[in-house]
């Protein structure tokens, strides 16, 4: 693979693009509120398309509204693609998703200006939806359409928080839900997604960027722990079947298990409902969620087995009934080892200090992995914050990330 000479990325351009895109849906100063197919989203997609045209890329919009900017390669073949999503949380910040969509465009623009046409086609993409912030079950709407995993009946079934269907939202901006199958691509050679880290690991390590070697596996349990409701004063402790006592032990035990296994295992109990939820009544039932993640398939299986046996053991010892339902279960998604090696080598050549780490968050790249080898790059997040207007990455760190992206794309396409 060719070694890239030092690639120049203009810090002023990076800052200008990030701040300009963030104006579409600007919220509370540094925040952005931009849900898929909203007027702000349409304006952001149009802006992205204009920048692609200005960079000399040919622009195409697919059936779900993903925007693609393409630089033809002298030898043709499958495209090397880089991008991310441009929808946000309500509100999110300026960087989640947007930075990756812009990074693909800025890197390809810089490569074209500094090295001319590539050997193989390069494409930047702004994916339309990742956050599920307008349609709670949309789940990677943009990238799922690209990999052909949107069944034809789905646009009529997905309902927004406000009540409209996905089909209605698409038609309102001139997209035809019947055409979604045409968004599928089978001509992508590699997908590279740059994203902010959204956690504190790079900041703690004092490093600007990471090459991501896996996206974590995630499982969500909904657990029901049922005992017997009784008088909080008259019923002795040793005679109770108290689901709150069982829950407390399970919550402590599960969290301790993830601590003991160490990074990158994580377990979160984020939602608890108590019935009947009164001060002087021993509860009848405690319902709670468990979100448990690990990027390594074997460690992940061990984490879940430990969680399940602990929950069963506590329930049995305390005379409680326990039921759970697994309502989300995504396997870990390893990055392509050859791409990881390419980007690690590119970082060394460009003198960019980097970490190698797994992603604890889910991303479009794990959908794209169904049709192409993928890798991700992370850029340091200030205080690890994300999904908030507080989200921030410095211009220097963004430039380092985009320079690394460009160097890797150079190795793959030139
Ligand atoms: Zn994101």
| Alpha-carbon distances of 250 from 48, 93, 246, rounded to whole Å | 48, 35, 6
> What digits encode the pLDDT tens for the residues 277-310?
999 999 999 999 999 999 999 999 999 999 999 9
- C-alpha 195 to ligand 1 mean position (Å): 7
Tokens of 71: 């630089």
Structure tokens at 330: 């995504």
pLDDT band with cut points at 50, 70 and 90 for residue 11: very high
**272 DSSP β-pair partners:** 288
Domain with CATH 3.40.630.10 in the chain: 11-215+332-413
**Whole-angstrom Cα distance, residue 398 to residue 242?**
52
Alpha-carbon distance of 268 to 223, in angstroms, equals 13
Rounded CA gap, 121 and 179, in Å?
A: 25
Q: Does the pLDDT value for residue 69 go beyond 80?
A: yes
User: What does each C-alpha distance from 373 to 51, 188, 225, 367 come to in angstroms?
Assistant: 27, 9, 42, 11
Residue 4 has pLDDT above 90, yes or no: no
Distance of CA 267 from the midpoint of ligand 1 (Å): 21
Give 395-405 pLDDT, tens digit per residue. Answer: 999 999 999 99
pLDDT range class, residue 358, cuts 50, 70, 90? very high
Print burial letters for 80-106: b (CB count within 10 Å at least 16), e (below 16): bbbbbbbbbbbbbbbbbbbbbbbbbbb
CA 363 to ligand 1 center in whole angstroms:
6
Rounded average pLDDT over 180-204: 98
Residues of the chain with CATH 3.30.70.360: 217-330
288 Cα: distance to centroid of ligand 1 (angstroms): 26
Q: 161 C-alpha to center of ligand 1: Å?
A: 20
Cα 84 to ligand 1 centroid, rounded to whole Å? 7
Mean pLDDT, the chain, whole residue set: 97
Q: How far is the CA of 143 from the centre of ligand 1 (A)?
A: 12
User: How large is the average pLDDT for residues 77-101?
Assistant: 97
* Dihedral over alpha carbons 137, 94, 357, 373 (to 10 degrees): 60
Residues 216-227 have a mean pLDDT of 97
How many angstroms does the Cα of residue 114 sit away from the middle of ligand 1? 29
Q: Residue 2 pLDDT more than 90?
A: no
Measured in Å, residue 121 CA sits from the centre of ligand 1 at 25
Q: How far apart are CA 385 and CA 203, in angstroms?
A: 11
* Rounded distance from Cα 292 to ligand 1 centre (Å): 19
In the reported structure, the alpha carbon of residue 386 is separated from the centroid of ligand 1 by a whole-number distance in angstroms of 9
Is pLDDT at 343 greater than 90 in this prediction? yes
Domain 11-215+332-413 has CATH 3.40.50.150: no
Q: Does 1 score more than 70 pLDDT?
A: no
Mean pLDDT of 215-225: 97
The residue assigned the tokens 């405690």 is 286
CA of 108 to the centre of ligand 1 (A): 21
Residue 1 and residue 411 in contact, taking contact as beta carbons nearer than 8 Å: yes
Residue 116: CB partners within 8 Å, gap ≥ 6?
A: none
pTM over 0.85: yes
Q: Give the model's confidence band at 238: pLDDT under 50 very low, under 70 low, under 90 confident, else very high.
A: very high
Partners of 72 in the β-ladder: none
**Contact (CB, 8 A) for 292 and 253:** no
Which CATH architecture fits 217-330? 2-Layer Sandwich (3.30)
Distance CA 359, CA 205 (A): 16
Q: How far is CA 376 from CA 90, 154, 161, 209, 230, in A?
A: 25, 29, 31, 11, 53
Counting residues of the chain whose pLDDT is more than 90, the rounded percentage is 98
Query: Across the strands, what pairs with 286?
Result: 225, 274
Ligand 1 center from residue 137 Cα (angstroms): 16
HSE on the CB side for 331, CA within 13 Å? 7
- Which string of DSSP letters, residue by residue, matches 256-321? HHHHHH-TT-EEE---EEEES--TTEE-SEEEEEEEEEESSHHHHHHHHHHHHHHHHHHHHHTT-E
Helices 39-54 and 98-115 cross at an angle (nearest 10°) of 10
Q: What is the pLDDT of residue 326?
A: 97
Distance CA 78, CA 257 (A): 45
Given a cut of 90, whether residue 197 has pLDDT beyond it is: yes
DSSP letters for 313-354: HHHHHTT-EEEEEEEEEE--EEPPHHHHHHHHHHHHHTT--E
> β-pairing, 354-359 with 188-196?
unpaired
pLDDT at 349 over 80: yes
Q: How far is CA 383 from CA 33, 89, 91, in A?
A: 21, 18, 18
Mean pLDDT of 210-234: 97
Q: Report the distance separating Cα 399 and Cα 192, nearest Å.
A: 16
- Ligand 1 centroid from CA 129, angstroms: 9
Distance 9 CA to ligand 1 centre (A): 23
What is the DSSP code (8-state) at residue 159? B
130 CA from centroid of ligand 1 (Å): 7
pLDDT score for 5? 81
Give the residue carrying structure tokens 């080898």: 373
- How far does residue 82's CA lie from ligand 1's centre (Å)? 14
């Amino acid at each position: 693979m060719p070694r890239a000479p030092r690639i120049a990325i203009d810090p002023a351009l990076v800052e200008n693009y990030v701040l300009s895109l963030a104006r579409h849906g600007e919220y509370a100063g540094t925040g952005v509120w931009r849900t898929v197919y909203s007027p702000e989203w349409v304006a952001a997609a149009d802006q992205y398309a204009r920048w692609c045209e200005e960079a000399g890329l040919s622009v195409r919009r697919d059936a779900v509204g993903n925007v693609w900017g393409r630089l033809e390669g002298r030898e043709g073949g499958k495209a090397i693609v880089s991008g991310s999503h441009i929808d946000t949380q309500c509100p999110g910040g300026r960087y989640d998703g947007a930075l990756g969509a812009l990074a693909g465009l800025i890197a390809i623009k810089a490569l074209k200006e500094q090295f001319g046409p590539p050997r193989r086609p390069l494409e930047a993409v702004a994916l339309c939806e990742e956050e599920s912030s307008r349609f709670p079950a949309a789940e990677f709407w943009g990238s799922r359409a690209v990999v052909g995993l949107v069944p034809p009946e789905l646009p009529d079934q997905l309902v927004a928080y406000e009540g409209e269907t996905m089909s209605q939202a698409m038609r309102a901006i001139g997209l035809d839900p019947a055409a979604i199958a045409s968004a599928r691509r089978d001509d992508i050679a590699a997908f590279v997604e740059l994203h902010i880290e959204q956690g504190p690991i790079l900041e703690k390590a004092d490093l600007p960027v990471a090459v991501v070697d896996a996206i974590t596996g995630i499982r969500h349990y909904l657990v029901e722990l049922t005992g017997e409701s009784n008088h909080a004063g008259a019923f002795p402790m040793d005679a109770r079947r108290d689901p709150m006592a069982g829950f407390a032990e399970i919550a402590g035990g599960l969290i301790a298990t993830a601590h003991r296994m160490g990074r990158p295992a994580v377990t979160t109990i984020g939602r608890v409902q108590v019935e009947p939820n009164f001060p002087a009544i021993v509860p009848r039932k405690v319902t709670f969620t468990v979100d448990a993640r690990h990027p390594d398939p074997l460690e992940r299986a061990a984490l879940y087995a430990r969680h399940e046996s602990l929950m069963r053991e506590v329930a049995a010892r305390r005379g409680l009934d326990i039921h759970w339902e697994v309502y989300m279960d995504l396997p870990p998604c390893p990055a392509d080892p050859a791409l990881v090696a390419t980007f690690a080598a590119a970082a060394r050549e460009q003198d960019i200090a980097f970490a190698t780490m797994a992603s604890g968050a889910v991303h479009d790249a794990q959908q794209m992995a169904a049709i192409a080898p993928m890798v991700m790059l992370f850029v340091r997040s200030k205080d690890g914050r994300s999904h908030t207007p507080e989200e921030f990455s410095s211009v220097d760190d963004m430039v380092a990330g985009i320079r690394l992206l460009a160097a890797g794309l150079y190795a793959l396409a030139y």
